Structures are given as structure tokens and as C-alpha cells.
Amino acid sequence: MVVTRFAPSPTGYLHIGGLRTALYSYLWARRNGGVFRLRIEDTDLERNSQEALNAIIEAFNWVGLSYDGEVEYQSKRTEIYKEYINKLLESGNAYKCYMSKEELDELRAKQEVAKQTPRYDGTWRPEDGKTLAEIPAGIEPVIRIKAPTTGTIEFVDGVKGDMKFDASFVDDFVIARSNGMPTYNFVVTIDDMLMNMTDVIRGDDHLSNTPKQIVIYNALGVKHPNFYHVPMINNPEGKKLSKRDGAMDVMDYKREGYLPEALLNFLVRLGWSNKDQEIFSMEDMLNLFDPKNINKSASAYNAEKLLWLNSEYIKNSSNNRLIEELKFFDLDLSDYSKKEEVLNLSKQRANTVVELKKSIEDIINAPESYDESGVNKFIKEDSADILKEYLELLRNNQDKFSNIEDLENITKPFISEKGLKFPQIFQPIRISLTGGTQAPSVYDILFILGFDEVERRIILALEKNFKNS
Ligand code: GLU
């Protein structure tokens, strides 16, 4: 059975790189009918915050990635880690090191002068036939892992291929501090082992931790999981993604009007592909995603693509769904009689839910002002008369408001009989009804608003003579 996890440290909001790792882990577990766990790596008490934790859970709920079982918190598992520290001490795979801070600093300084890589010199490392110094009084020891000193640590990374690290890279690193608290790589390993992780998918910023974790697995005599290190998401210039480029809180995407399925679709493609397919429903992702196909090189964040995907998802969303999304932006269309019509029209052109809201409001709310440049350009001496005559036509044909075709059928002969050019009639109507010249088809707006509202807005525009005071 495949078991994966997402293991964020709650030191800040959940950003899209983290969400992408979570998505990949989630897809791989779900695709295999496996288990996806959420583990909060909150051992760094100074940098953790409850707020960040809430933000992670909130973002998870928003995008709908469900996890199995209870959330595990590392901060609640100290006793478990200590038990395994003791096991390693007992089996001789870890040892107590009484080197004082001063001695360690001195060692580092010497190595620096000799231009050597800083590493532990093995003073307290037990070896056959070696006599250790007497334990100094008043020093609480740290616990070090007894790592191999020669050879290599090798593993096959599911993304990057064969990995080989020189044993000297690992060193006898500390697995518990002098206050007894276990260190990062140790707790990650113990948790992954106890949670029966089969596949660890994480950012490649963790690649250098992996040989250390493998040394711990080996010391415990346990097989390590498969590792997949996912390359970073860069900005379009190939540099580290900054807030400005999109490295923001996942919940900011909601606030900017993105749909979660568009964001997930965007993220799945940032670092993974299936031929030239761009649109992936959750079902597609679950059928197709395989971490072995994760790209080997970093991917570039592409804001336009995200917008495009979002517009596709908005267009294809049901109106009921969009009504729910719009409520988040304080627009409640539930009781609006022409909600279907206005949504069918507006969702064709909106890149975000924020834009959707604006385009709906531009139609359903009477204009508060008239666009000056539009007025200057399109309102001519004869405009008022044309509008009055057209309004008269509409008044005599109120039964034609029940469908768009009928509205077209009465308008077209009017235009040709009067010998009008389209902008001569349509722009004054647009300006009267919406305040601007950019609105969609006039027939759509007439149809959505209905005769009474159309009449009210045209009369008002004529009374004000398209002026804003
Ligand atoms: N807690 C680590 C992070 O937030 C992830 C560790 C892991 O996936 O092994 O980056």
C-alpha cells in the first residue's frame, strides 16, 4: 500500500510550492488507493505559530485535499523520539558526545584554517579497542549518530535518478541536543518510519537531508521509503520565486478570485506533464499522475497561464457553484430573478471571480456615472432622438423581451430603416444601461434587465444628458 504525507513546518503561511508538494503526495496516494497523512513539523518552537498552522489547515480545506487519520504534531511526540534515541544508544549506533561548546568551536576554527570541511573529529566515537576519555563533570552530552566514515550513501531518487553522497558528507551528526530534544532529521525519519511511509515526495531543498536520514534508517535496520525530490518553482526569469511573482499565501489566490481546481491544475502542470494536455480535472490527475514523470528541472511560474486556466474553469462552472463563490465577495445572486442569464453571459469573459463580480455588477446595478470619453466619442446630436425612438419601439414590443432572438428581430429592421451605423445606436444604449462602452452584447443586457429597468435607465441617461453631476 502506498503511504505518502505532507509535512509542513508551521512557520508561515502555506505557499504554492508547498501546496504543489502536498498535491503530488495526495495524488500518488489516492491514485493507488493508499493513505495520505498530514504531519505538522512544529519542533522549532520559536518559529512556529498557531496562526500559520490554522492557515495551512484552512488552505487544505479550501483546495479540498483530504488527509487520512488524525493530523500528527511532532511537538507531541517527543517521548517517542527519545525512546528511539535510547534504542540507538543501546545498539551502539549512537553515542554520547561530551565535547564542550568551546572545544567544538576550537575544532571548527582549526579546520577552517586548514581549509577543511567542518566535521566532528570522532573524539567520543566508540570504536573497538579505543579507550574513551573520562566523562567530564558538568557537561550534558549531545547524542551523535555513528555514521559510516568511508564509502558512499546511495539511493535512487524517483525524480533525479541515482544519487551518491560521500560518507564524509554525513558526519556523526547530532540526533539529540544536550537538553534531550531530538533534531530535525531524526524526528522526520522516526515519523516516516512509524507512519509507514512508502513514498516521500518533497522539495529538492531537502535533498541534502536525505543521506542523513538514510543513515538513521540503516542504524535502525529499517528499509527507507522511496524518495522523490521535486525541483523548485522559479519566477519567469529563472530566479527564486518572490511574493511579487506569486509566492504568496495559498489563501491569497482565493481572495484574488481563483478557483481551487484552477490552482491545482496550474500546480500539477508546474513540474509534471502528460503529453501536451493542459486541463486536468481532479479525476484526470488521479488517473494520470505518477511522480516518476515529475520534471527534472525547475519550472517557471506563469501568471498568465494561471489566469487562462481560471477563466476556463469559471466558464465551465455551474451557475450554482458561481453563486456560492460570489458570496465570498459579498455578491449574493440567490434571489436575483435573472441570475442564470447574467451568469451565463458574464462567466464567458471573466478571468477571476473578482472580474465576474464586476461584470455582473456592471449589468445589474444602474450606472452611477457615464464614461466621459465614451460619451464624447459616441453621443452625438442625434443620439437622444435615436434613443427615444428606439425606446418607443421597445415599449411597443415588451413581449419581445422574453428572448434574445426576438429582440434582435425588432432591432435590426429599426437600424436598417433609419440607415444607422451600429455604434450610433448600440453605444448610446450601452452607455445608458451600463455607464460604459465595453459591456457585452446589447441584446444580452436588454434581455437580462427586462423592459422596465431598460426604460428606467434610458430615461435617466436622457434626463441627465449623459452628464455626471
Ligand atoms: N517540514 C519540511 C518543510 O516544511 C518538510 C520535510 C519533509 O518533507 O521531509 O519543508
In the 3-class helix/strand/coil scheme, how is the chain assigned residue by residue?
CCEEEECCCCCCCCEHHHHHHHHHHHHHHHHCCCEEEEEECCCCCCCCCHHHHHHHHHHHHHHCCCCCCCCEEHHHCHHHHHHHHHHHHHCCCEEEECCCHHHHHHHHHHHHHCCCCCCCCCCCCCCCCCCCCCCCCCCCCEEEECCCCCCEEEEEECCCEEEEEEHHHHCCCEEECCCCCECHHHHHHHHHHHCCCCEEEEEHHHHHHHHHHHHHHHHHCCCCCEEEEECCEECCCCCECCCCCCCCEHHHHHHCCCCHHHHHHHHHHCCECCCCCCCCCHHHHHHHCCHHHECCCCEECCHHHHHHHHHHHHHCCCHHHHHHHHHHCCCCCCCCCCHHHHHHHHCCCCCCHHHHHHHHHHHHCCCCCCCHHHHHHHCCCCHHHHHHHHHHHHHHCHHHHHCHHHHHHHHHHHHHHHCCCHHHHHHHHHHHHHCCCCCCCHHHHHHHHHHHHHHHHHHHHHHHCCCCC
Q: If you average pLDDT over residues 395-419, what whole number do you get? A: 96
Please, which pLDDT band fits residue 340 given cuts at 50, 70 and 90? Answer: very high
CA 188 / ligand 1 centre spacing (Å): 8
Q: What CA–CA distance (Å, rounded) separates 191 from 157?
A: 20
- Put simply, whether the predicted model's pTM sits higher than 0.85 gets the answer yes
Please, which pLDDT band fits residue 118 given cuts at 50, 70 and 90? Answer: confident
Lowest model confidence (mean pLDDT) among 232-246, 290-304, 330-344: 232-246
pLDDT score of 243 = 80
> Does the annotation place 243 within a ligand binding site?
yes
Of ligand 1's listed atoms, the one at least distance from the Cα of 209 is 9
- How does pLDDT run across 368-394, given as a tens digit for each residue? 999 999 999 999 999 999 999 999 999
Please, which pLDDT band fits residue 16 given cuts at 50, 70 and 90? Answer: very high
CA 257 / ligand 1 centre spacing (Å): 29
CA 91 / ligand 1 centre spacing (Å): 28
pLDDT score of 211 = 97
Q: What CA–CA distance (Å, rounded) separates 122 from 172?
A: 8
- How does pLDDT run across 442-458, given as a tens digit for each residue? 999 999 999 999 999 99
Please, which pLDDT band fits residue 295 given cuts at 50, 70 and 90? Answer: very high
| Ligand 1 near 8 CB (within 6 A) | yes
Of ligand 1's listed atoms, the one at least distance from the Cα of 21 is 8
Residue with CA at minimum distance from ligand 1 atom 6: 7
| Ligand 1 near 7 CB (within 6 A) | yes
Sign of CA dihedral 36, 42, 47, 48: positive
pLDDT score of 348 = 94
CA 202 / ligand 1 centre spacing (Å): 7
| Ligand 1 near 9 CB (within 6 A) | yes
State which of 25, 42, 47, 206 you would mutate to test the pocket of ligand 1, scoring each by most atoms of that ligand within 8 A of its C-beta: 206
| Ligand 1 near 30 CB (within 6 A) | no
What are the backbone dihedrals phi and psi of residue 210, each rounded to the nearest 5 degrees, phi first?
-60, -45
Residue identified by cell 490552482 is 263
- Burial of residue 194 (CB within 10 Å: 0-12, 13-18, 19+) is middle
In this model, does residue 204 exceed pLDDT 80? yes
pLDDT score of 441 = 87
| Ligand 1 near 52 CB (within 6 A) | no
Nearest alpha-carbon partner for 5 in 13, 14, 18: 18
CA 340 / ligand 1 centre spacing (Å): 45
pLDDT score of 47 = 79
251: β partners? none
R_g of the chain, CA atoms, integer Å: 33
Nearest alpha-carbon partner for 38 in 61, 63, 71: 71
| Ligand 1 near 10 CB (within 6 A) | no
Task: Cell numbers for 464, please give them.
Answer: 441627465
Q: What CA–CA distance (Å, rounded) separates 121 from 218?
A: 22
Taking the C-alpha atoms of 312, 314, 315 and 320 in order, what is their torsion angle to the nearest 10 degrees?
Answer: 150
243 is a catalytic site residue: yes
The most distant pair of C-alpha atoms in the chain lies apart, rounded to whole Å, by: 111
| Ligand 1 near 125 CB (within 6 A) | no
Please, which pLDDT band fits residue 469 given cuts at 50, 70 and 90? Answer: confident
Angle subtended at Cα 103 by Cα 99 and Cα 107, rounded to the nearest 5 degrees = 110
Residue with CA at minimum distance from ligand 1 atom 10: 8
pLDDT score of 307 = 97
Which residue of the set 76, 87, 243, 467 is catalytic?
A: 243
CA 184 / ligand 1 centre spacing (Å): 10
In this model, does residue 114 exceed pLDDT 90? yes
Q: If you average pLDDT over residues 41-56, what whole number do you get? A: 85
